[in-house]
Amino acid sequence: MALIKVQDLKIHFFTIRGTAKAVDGVSFQIQKNQTLGLIGESGCGKTTTAMALMQFVKPPGKIVSGKILFNGSDIVAMNDEQIRQLRGRDIAIVRQEAQNALNPVMTIGRQITELILEHEPVTKKAALARAQNQLNLVGISDKRIDSYPHEFSGGMKQRAMVAIATACNPKLLILDEPTTGLDVIVQRQILSMLNNLKEELHLTSVFISHDLSVVAETCDRVAVMYAGKLMEEAGTVDLYQKPLHPYSQALIGAYPSLKGEKRKLVSIPGAPPRLIDPPLGCRFAPRCSHAMTECNVTEPPIKEKAGHRVACHLIK
Amino acid sequence: MENDHILKVESLKKYFPLRTGLISRLAGKEASYFRAVDDISFHVGAGEILGFVGESGCGKSTMSRTILKLVEPSGGKVYFNDTRVDALGKAAFKPYRRKMQMIFQDPFGSLNPRRTVSETLRQTIRIHRLANDKAAEDKLITRTLGEVGLNPVDEFWDKYPALLSGGQLQRVSIGRVLILQPELVIADESVSMLDVSVRIGILDLLLTMRDKYGISFIYITHDLITARYICDRIAIMYLGKILEIGPTETIINQPCHPYTRALISAVPVPDPTAETPELPIRGYVPITQDETIGCCRFEPRCPERTKQCQSGQPEMAQVGNSHFASCFLVDEDGYGYDN
């Protein structure tokens, strides 16, 4: 059952230089209790798409068309009051570099209780007890409830962010590069914690990353984005073992691994296109080693077979 | 050059004094230090790429700055081509700066945003007087841009950093270093801020620099995967100490030190069907060093710790071909314990 249905979402940024079509007609669904990974290079629109799920599109960006259906209601059409109710309570976010998201002059405990008291009619005492529970849930001793963010290490701050975000048991958790920049051991500990939380709290989540190995470990389905378009979407195992789109194949091919034979890796030549004047046809065509004439003229429609969706003229 | 070592570091130390309050100092409390780099010794061979892998705070960046005298060492010796350089004065060390260069982590922060690509390179040429006139400068800039893969050169000549991607900026920084024809380059997390798909291109460029010009590298990272891709040998650092050092494939496939094993099992694998192994490590990196003074640095987190581990940091013992580890569990006659 789908918790979120994104239909033909378009988010454009209106700048002096022109209109950047950052997200240009993206559709996908997020199933309940599943984790959807959104992968792609910098600038592909994955963060913008995820932010739009909470209507967090900063000007000069604007959602110009499309629908985001959440339990039947369209998030795009919600007014300020409705969206305020939604954020924090139904949909929450954990961003990269938690130190910028945490309030430096408030204790961690206060930041959690503040969120709970905002959305739920409970007493301060009850909120405090829940806050302590949240800290334990993410592996931080509840004695640290009165600590300030600067007293935490990078990994702890990230975990504190997860504690805050899950305080009201949100239906959807958005994780935007939550472990990027953290050491591999801290990353492993945080990913384990997230996996446990997923089961305990029955979380549905969106996991944004440019790191294919982290996505392989945490996601049930993966969507690959490029230059504002969805290139491929499938179950994780399916995508990694049988990637259909040349871009997905190149991404997986550019990924070195620790074990096994040291193979010669090929990085993708060139750079993503400008979003102000994107190329006609498939946006990946200029860098695609399999590009045909058709690719430079018409945009490939999304074709689906057995839960595996791909936008590529090569696939019949 | 003795043994073909371009760089030899002996017992290098960098301690940062921690501030003690006035009252404590009056009461006779000794100044305490943060031991960022704590008695490390290693060498880098000519044309070799030596990797330093470790978590945040292990001292790898401080070590690189100390070697390049961007911060003054607190102790130890540094030899460049058999000449002792750590004690040289500012003027005497200047000629060595050309030979020992660094590529930084942040591609956006490394370049002056108000200089175009060619202006940045031109400045380097002028400071080190590498060309006699503008025509010669232009020729050198053109050649350098070509070498680092910024083709067609005309397209990048007048670009400001704001218009370039992270990977392209890093190539400019590498070009700036390449112009000087250094003998040793320290790459400090040079690909960490780049997209994964772009990293390989940059790493291949570093490998080309070594293959073509014989430049030696110290490659600093917290990412074992990229270290495996380009390094000949890897040193594992933790809280200011080297815990294990050896040839890359040996470290990856036959790690000896419990910390190395933990690092390796923590690396995620891009295979959704793979089992996630248990992480053989407890707790987190301590924020202060007090917990580890007088014992092996890794003791509080080590799953295999014994009482002996509280007695001090074990000496580096040879456990294999060019393979050394600092661990009490390593046999006295030097051969690794039960793998």
In this prediction, residue B338 has a pLDDT band, given cuts at 50, 70 and 90, of very low
User: What residues of chain A lie within 8 A of the CB of B166, using their CB?
Assistant: 42
Q: Does residue A98 have a pLDDT over 80?
A: no
Asked if the Cβ–Cβ distance from A184 to B55 is below 8 Å, we say yes
Diameter of chain A measured on Cα atoms: 67
Cα end-to-end distance, chain B, whole Å: 37
pLDDT at B286: 61
pLDDT at B25: 64
pLDDT at B107: 86
pLDDT digits (tens, 9 = 90+) for B56-73: 778 888 999 999 999 999
Asked if the Cβ–Cβ distance from B228 to A267 is below 8 Å, we say no
Diameter of chain B measured on Cα atoms: 69
Interface of B with A (CB under 8 A): 55-56, 165-168, 192, 195-201, 204, 222-226, 228-229, 252, 262-274, 276, 279, 281, 284-285, 287
- The 10 Å CB-count burial string (b at 16+, else e) for B99-130 is bbbbbbbbbeebbeeeebbbebbbebbeeeee
Distance from the A47 Cα atom to the nearest Cα atom in chain B, whole angstroms: 14
Q: Does residue B287 have a pLDDT over 60?
A: no
| Residue of chain B minimizing CA distance to A42 | B195
Distance from the A185 Cα atom to the nearest Cα atom in chain B, whole angstroms: 5
Q: Are A109 and A145 in contact (CB under 8 A)?
A: yes
Give me the amino acid identity at B111: L
pLDDT at B285: 63
Asked if the Cβ–Cβ distance from A188 to B223 is below 8 Å, we say no
Among the partner-chain residues B167, B195, B222, the one whose CB lies closest to the CB of A183 is B222
Asked if the Cβ–Cβ distance from A254 to B56 is below 8 Å, we say no
pLDDT digits (tens, 9 = 90+) for A131-158: 998 888 888 888 889 989 888 877 788 8
User: What residues of chain B lie within 8 A of the CB of A271, using their CB?
Assistant: 165, 167-168
**Domain layout of chain A by residue ranges:** 2-90+170-311
Residue A256 contacts B, CB cutoff 8 Å: yes
Q: Does residue A111 have a pLDDT over 50?
A: yes
The total number of residues shown for chain A amounts to: 316
Optimal mutation site among B271, B275, B302, interface A, most CBs of chain A within 10 A: B271
Q: Does residue A275 have a pLDDT over 90?
A: no
| Residue of chain B minimizing CA distance to A250 | B197
Residue A105 contacts B, CB cutoff 8 Å: no
Nearest CA among A216, A175, A183, A181 for reference residue A91: A175
pLDDT digits (tens, 9 = 90+) for B24-60: 667 766 667 788 898 999 999 999 999 999 887 788 8
Q: Are A290 and A246 in contact (CB under 8 A)?
A: yes
Residue A306 contacts B, CB cutoff 8 Å: no
Residue A251 contacts B, CB cutoff 8 Å: yes
d(CA A207, CA A38): 6
Other Cβ atoms less than 10 A from the Cβ of B95: the count is: 9
User: What residues of chain B lie within 8 A of the CB of A192, using their CB?
Assistant: 276, 279
Asked if the Cβ–Cβ distance from B269 to A259 is below 8 Å, we say yes
Question: How high does pLDDT run on average in chain B?
Answer: 86
d(CA A174, CA A200): 17
pLDDT digits (tens, 9 = 90+) for B243-284: 999 999 999 999 989 899 988 888 888 888 887 777 777 766
pLDDT digits (tens, 9 = 90+) for A28-51: 999 999 999 999 887 888 989 998
Among the partner-chain residues B197, B229, B284, the one whose CB lies closest to the CB of A153 is B284
B207-217: average pLDDT: 95
What fold characterizes domain B2-231? Rossmann fold (3.40.50)
The total number of residues shown for chain B amounts to: 339
Cα end-to-end distance, chain A, whole Å: 28
**In CATH, which of 2.40.128.720, 3.30.1490.190, 3.40.50.300, 3.40.640.10 is domain A2-90+170-311?**
3.40.50.300
d(CA A108, CA A152): 10
B220-243: average pLDDT: 92
Predicted-complex ipTM score: 0.76
Q: Does residue B336 have a pLDDT over 60?
A: no
User: What residues of chain A lie within 8 A of the CB of B165, using their CB?
Assistant: 42, 271
